[in-house]
Amino acid sequence: PQPGTFDRVEEPWVDLSIISPSRYIGAIMELVQARRGAFGKMDFVDDQRVLLTYQMPLGELIVDFYDQLKTRTQGYASLDYHYADYRDADLVKLDVLVNAQPVDALSMIIHRDKAYHQGRALIDKLRQLIPRQMFDVPLQAAIGGKIIARETIRAMRKNVLAKCYGGDVTRKRKLLEKQAEGKKRMKRLGQVEIPQEAFMAVLSLRD
């Protein structure tokens, strides 16, 4: 929905339990804090293992949290969670525009505090993944119509003067003007092909 067409936004939260060797407590706390988790308590299961309980937004959990947890604990941690409740949330829709056209598959719902960083990172990643075209391709991240990040994939350049010998300045200028007009027409009509890796970048740009 468009901003101003709703009263509030809620998101589901879960009760989360993590069992891990105690030497990874710091790494786990850092990860959960980055995902907006709220610390509950810590209990030692035995001399070497600890039970950490949190509450966390479900949206922060379902996107690669488990993989990140395994990575930071060398595969030793395990987790369990169940639904807690719905809570008010300051969520926004982060839109991505490629060549001034919105790409719904690249859009995401994200907490406002993370929106600028995520938008900046995503645009930088797309600039690396989308191939160069015969025209400049603007990449933009926007929230509610406000652009928060922008990059441009520069056009491939063709030397139209390569076969133009001699010093005929007028002919050279006409060739360059014709090339510029052609690029403008391509930009108006052109569709930018977005590789699959670009869509996967939406999921990979996490903590």
| pLDDT attached to residue 176 | 55
Q: What angle do CA 31, 150, 122 make, to 5 degrees?
A: 30
Closest Cα to residue 196, out of 130, 97, 103, 121? 130
According to the model, what pLDDT value does residue 189 have? 39
Q: For position 142, what pLDDT does the model report?
A: 95
Residue ranges, comma separated, of all CATH 3.30.70.240 domains in the chain are 10-88
Task: Work out the pLDDT band at 185, boundaries 50, 70, 90.
Answer: very low
Answer left, alpha or beta for residue 99, where phi above 0 means left and psi between -120 and 50 means alpha: left
Task: Specify the 3-state DSSP secondary structure of 147.
Answer: strand
Q: How confident is the model at residue 188 (pLDDT cuts 50, 70, 90)?
A: very low
Helix/strand/coil for 6? coil
The CATH 3.30.70.2570 domain(s) of the chain lie at 92-204
User: Residue 180 above 70 pLDDT?
Assistant: no
- Mean pLDDT of the residues in the chain: 84
Mean per-residue pLDDT for 179-195?
57
Residue type, 126: L
Does residue 89 contact residue 10 with C-beta atoms inside 8 Å?
A: yes
The class level of CATH for 92-204 reads alpha beta
> Shortest CA distance to 98 belongs to which of 145, 141, 131?
141
| Confidence band of 160 (pLDDT split at 50, 70, 90) | very low
For domain 10-88, the CATH architecture is 2-Layer Sandwich (3.30)
Q: Residue 100 in contact with residue 142, Cβ under 8 Å?
A: no
20-50 tens-digit pLDDT? 999 999 999 999 999 999 999 999 999 999 9
Confidence (pLDDT) at 174: 64
pLDDT band at 186; cut points 50, 70, 90: very low
Instruction: State pLDDT tens for residues 115-143.
Output: 999 999 999 999 988 888 878 899 999 99
More confident residue, 6 or 60: 60
* Cβ pair 93, 143 in contact under 8 A: yes
Torsion angle (degrees, nearest 10) of CA 82, 113, 89, 142: -110
Q: Find the mean pLDDT for residues 178-198.
A: 60
